[in-house]
Amino acid sequence: MPLKALAPLLVGLLLAGCAGSSTTPAPAPAPPPPGVDAGDACDAEALQGRVGQRFTATLGERLQVESGATTLRVLRPGMAATLDYRQNRLTVRLDERDLIAAIDCG
pLDDT at residue 43, as a whole number:
93
pLDDT at residue 32, as a whole number:
53
CB 54 within 8 A of CB 99: yes
pLDDT at residue 82, as a whole number:
87
pLDDT along the chain (106 residues), means of 10: 62 61 60 54 93 97 96 95 91 97 95
Of 66, 61, 65, nearest to 49 by C-alpha is: 66
| DSSP secondary structure string for all residues of 47-97 | GGGGTTSBP-HHHHHHHHHHHT-SEEEEE-TT--------TTEEEEEE-TT
C-alpha distances in Å from residue 19, one per residue of 8, 37, 82: 16, 44, 43
pLDDT at residue 11, as a whole number:
65
For the chain, the domains span 38-105
* The CATH number fitting domain 38-105, selected from 1.20.1730.10, 3.30.930.10, 3.65.10.10, 3.30.10.10: 3.30.10.10
